[in-house]
Amino acid sequence: MTWRLHPLPPVPESTAAMVQAAFPKGNLYVDLRHEFGSIYQDDLFADLYSDRGHPVEVAPWRLALVTVMQYIEGLTDRQTADAVRRCMDWKYALSLELTDAGFDFTLLHDFRQRLLTHDGAQRLLDTLLDTCKKRSWIKTQGKQRTDSTYVVAAIRRLYYLECVQEAMHYALNQLSEAAPQWVQGWVPLEWYERYGPRAELFRLPKETSKRNALALVIGAEGYALLDALCQDASAQHLLELPAVEILRRI
């Protein structure tokens, strides 16, 4: 993919007018956009992309800024992409029209991998994070770190947790279609609340200890589901469902 150098675009007039009306005193993301405008440079991204191939779908400066906003809010990739579509202050920060439909959430994962592969996180995100810490937009507590490595790792853990939760959601949905009576007779009631909504609608806890606890719960319940299917002779054919096989692999 190729990154074409161009200056930071201005905030569209319609977006600026709506945000000014809604946030006359400004807010975090309005201020962050102003700060980012002063530190942004084209050549920050030059070595992250090749000099040939298809142009990038979303400008890397936007993905970098979204990554910081994602960390501040503690959002998964799906939830972050949804925030870009619906939040006017996010659109302001990203210099987008109010009608902009945003981008596919998978681009965030690809961007993180590119940062790690090219050692771009240290050069780019640390500059943004240092600005955020100086303005007290990101607060450090105890031994918590807010350097780029920590931020990227924290978002990746959210990504993995969302992936496992969505795998349970997908498997239970397919099982409900293929064998509704078996699901109703075996699946605990609390699972309907945990795995009923899609992962992007489920707000994951911000505290690391609570996320780790949730990961252990989902993992244990995933193993319990697979064990139940294996041990029930009448249900073993359900192991061949694509969603169940995906859950087993994950």
Whether 167 and 117 share a structural domain: no
**Do residues 47 and 22 both lie within one domain?**
yes
Classify the phi-psi angles of 9: left when phi > 0, otherwise alpha if psi is within -120 to 50, otherwise beta.
Answer: beta
- Say what the pLDDT of residue 42 is: 53
For residues 148-184, b (16+ Cβ closer than 10 Å) or e, as one string?
beebbebbeebbebbebbbbbbbbbebbeebbeebbe
Helices 28-39 and 60-73, axial angle in degrees (round to 10):
140
Last residue of a domain, one of 146, 170, 193: 146
Is residue 130 included in any domain, yes or no?
Answer: yes
Asked if the structure places residue 205 within a domain, the reply is: yes
CA dist 19 and 12 (Å) reads 11
SS3 75: coil
Of the listed ranges 19-28, 37-46, 83-92, 221-230, the one predicted with least confidence = 37-46
Q: Which of 39-43, 120-124, 158-162, 215-219 has the highest mean pLDDT?
A: 215-219
* Domain extent at residue 84: 13-146
As given in the structure block, the two tokens for residue 38 are 């002063």
| Same domain membership, residue 111 and residue 21 | yes
Is there a single domain that holds both residue 87 and residue 68? yes
The Cα–Cα gap between 109 and 158 comes to 11
184-209 per-position pLDDT tens digit: 999 998 898 888 876 566 677 777 78
3-state secondary structure of 76: coil
Q: Assess if residue 5 is contained within a domain.
A: no
Sign of the alpha-carbon dihedral angle for 57, 19, 127, 203: negative
Within this chain, do residues 41 and 130 fall inside the same structural domain, yes or no? yes
Domain identity same for 54 and 101: yes
Residue 6 within any structural domain of the chain: no
State residue 54's pLDDT score.
62
The conformation of residue 249, written as its DSSP 8-state character, comes to H
Domain for residue 177, yes or no?
yes
> Does residue 72 lie within any of the structural domains?
yes
Residue among 162, 147, 241, 232 at smallest CA distance from 197: 162
Are the C-beta atoms of residues 32 and 93 closer than 8 Å to each other? yes
Q: What single-letter DSSP state applies at residue 74?
A: T
Residue 36, pLDDT score: 73
Confidence check: pLDDT of 124 > 70: no
124 and 183 part of one domain: no
pLDDT at site 142: 45
What average pLDDT does the segment 144-160 reach? 70
Strand partners, 50: 2
Q: Is the pLDDT of residue 16 over 90?
A: yes
| Confidence at residue 178, expressed as pLDDT on a 0 to 100 scale | 94
Say how many Å lie between the first and final Cα of the chain, rounded. Answer: 29
pLDDT digits (tens, 9 = 90+) for 40-96: 655 566 666 666 656 677 888 888 889 888 888 888 899 999 999 999 999 999 999
Indicate the average pLDDT of the chain: 82
Q: How many domains does the chain have?
A: 2
